[in-house]
């Protein structure tokens, strides 16, 4: 075990010992080698099952970077869409003609953080409210992270490609041979790492945890994707190679130049940036973190059981990101 992997191991083991998580699957990717480890179990009681490479995680908001941002970058590269195109060009029912694709990717649209009482809505009701919702500020004024930005980008993908799921499968997952990744995955339930226990839904396992993804039939630009450590490691390898993987160009290399140029309060396009190392891009969710640094040619993936407490989540995230900062 290298020193850096040992640092991740220590952070993970401490979190397990303190009852923050039940277990974690993580990898450290460098130019020289890829190291992987699986520690702990899926959960308690009947879920006391040791983690292994076959385990599948609910990516939660990691979906926005792995699936949505990647496909949007591809559509931009072939000029199917444009950064300055207004959202209404693709979603005619949307009421804010001043918001464009750049605003959504950079989290500067002015959309609110959430839609009140959305968990009680149908998918159609949710989209109708989203299309007419009032803005918190003028687009482009500042950064405000909102799932609604990525949900709209997902709807744009559906508008151009016909289906978010099919689009992501055809243009990202198949070329990367990420065979255990997708929306609404049909796999044995025992392979899914449970997220959390919900008062209404009971133990959530193998079904999207995020309520917005749930009411959108598990297929959203913000959430809904499931994956394994192996598949996510392949994705990070591709990002470290500026969009290339085993001779296949998944992303136009020029997009990485743009990623490195744009930084607004720690936010780039579809990814966040470390404040202590501007070359490090990452995205996090209650079930994990993905990070990559092209200049240093290193990256990591760490997937965990669902972390309810935000402070616990931030603490573990910071300890893990320090390894590659």
CA 156 to each of CA 90, 96, 161, 164, 275: distance values in angstroms, whole numbers, following the listed order: 6, 15, 8, 9, 31
> Using CA atoms in the order 170, 175, 177, 182, what is the torsion angle rounded to 10 degrees?
-30
pLDDT at 31 over 90: no
Read off the tokens for 312: 């616990």
pLDDT interval class at 296 (50, 70, 90): very high
Mean pLDDT in residue range 265-287? 95
pLDDT at residue 295, as a whole number: 93
pLDDT band at 87 (very low <50, low <70, confident <90, very high): very high
* Distance set, CA 61 to CA 57, 65, 83 (Å): 12, 8, 22
Contact 42, 22 (CB under 8 A): yes
- 218 within 8 A of 185, measured Cβ to Cβ: no
The pLDDT assigned to 221 comes to: 98
Pair 71, 168: CB distance under 8 Å: yes
pLDDT exceeds cutoff 90 at 45: no
Overall residue count recorded for the chain in this entry: 325
Average pLDDT of the residues of the chain: 96
* Whole-number Å distance between alpha carbons of 217 and 142: 31
Helices 70-77 & 147-161, crossing angle to 10 degrees? 50
What domains can be seen in the chain, in order of their start residue?
3-321 (3.40.710.10)
Q: Is the pLDDT of residue 269 over 80?
A: yes
Let me know: does 12 contact 4? Beta carbons within 8 Å.
no
Residue 4 has pLDDT above 90, yes or no: yes
237 sits in which H/E element: helix 229-240
Q: How far apart are CA 225 and CA 60, in angstroms?
A: 7
For residue 1, is pLDDT > 80?
Answer: no
pLDDT number for residue 63: 98
> Going by C-beta distance under 8 Å and a sequence separation of 6 or more, which residues neighbour residue 233?
27, 29, 34, 36, 301
Query: Residue 54: its pLDDT value, please?
Result: 97
Q: What is the pLDDT of residue 270?
A: 97
CB-facing half-sphere around the CA of 81: CA atoms within 13 A: 27
**8-state DSSP, 47:** G
What average pLDDT does the segment 128-150 reach?
Answer: 97
Task: Select from 222, 236, 235 the least CA-distant residue to 181.
Answer: 235
pLDDT tens-digit map of 169-219: 999 999 999 999 999 999 999 999 999 999 999 999 999 999 999 999 999
Structure tokens at 208: 């999207």
CA distance 255 to 133: 31
């Amino acid at each position: 075990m290298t020193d850096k992997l040992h640092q991740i191991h220590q952070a993970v083991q401490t979190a397990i010992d303190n009852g923050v998580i039940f277990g974690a699957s993580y990898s450290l990717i460098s130019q020289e080698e890829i190291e992987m480890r699986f520690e702990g179990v899926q959960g308690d009681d009947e879920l006391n099952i040791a983690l292994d490479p076959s385990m599948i995680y609910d990516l939660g908001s990691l979906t926005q970077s792995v699936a949505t941002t990647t496909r949007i970058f591809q559509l931009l590269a072939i000029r199917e869409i444009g950064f300055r195109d207004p959202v209404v060009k693709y979603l005619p029912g949307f009421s804010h003609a001043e918001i464009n694709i750049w605003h959504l990717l950079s989290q500067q649209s002015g959309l609110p953080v959430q839609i009140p009482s959305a968990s009680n809505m149908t998918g159609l009701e949710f989209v109708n409210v989203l299309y007419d919702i009032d803005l918190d500020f003028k687009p482009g004024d500042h950064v405000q992270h909102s799932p609604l930005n990525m949900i709209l980008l997902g709807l744009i993908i559906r508008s151009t490609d016909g289906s978010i799921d099919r689009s992501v499968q055809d243009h990202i997952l198949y070329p990367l041979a990420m065979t255990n990744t997708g929306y609404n995955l049909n796999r044995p339930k025992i392979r899914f790492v449970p997220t959390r226990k919900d008062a209404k839904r009971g133990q959530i396992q193998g079904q999207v945890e995020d309520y917005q993804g749930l009411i959108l039939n598990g297929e959203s630009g913000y959430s809904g994707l499931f994956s394994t450590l192996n598949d996510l490691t392949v994705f990070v390898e591709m990002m470290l190679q500026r969009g290339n993987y085993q001779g296949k160009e998944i992303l136009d290399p020029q997009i990485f130049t743009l990623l490195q140029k744009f930084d607004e309060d720690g936010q780039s396009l579809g990814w966040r940036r470390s404040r202590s190392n501007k070359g490090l891009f990452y995205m996090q969710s209650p079930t994990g973190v993905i990070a990559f640094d092209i200049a240093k040619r290193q990256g990591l993936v760490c997937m965990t059981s669902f972390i309810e407490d935000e402070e616990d989540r931030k603490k573990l995230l910071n300890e893990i990101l320090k390894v590659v900062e």
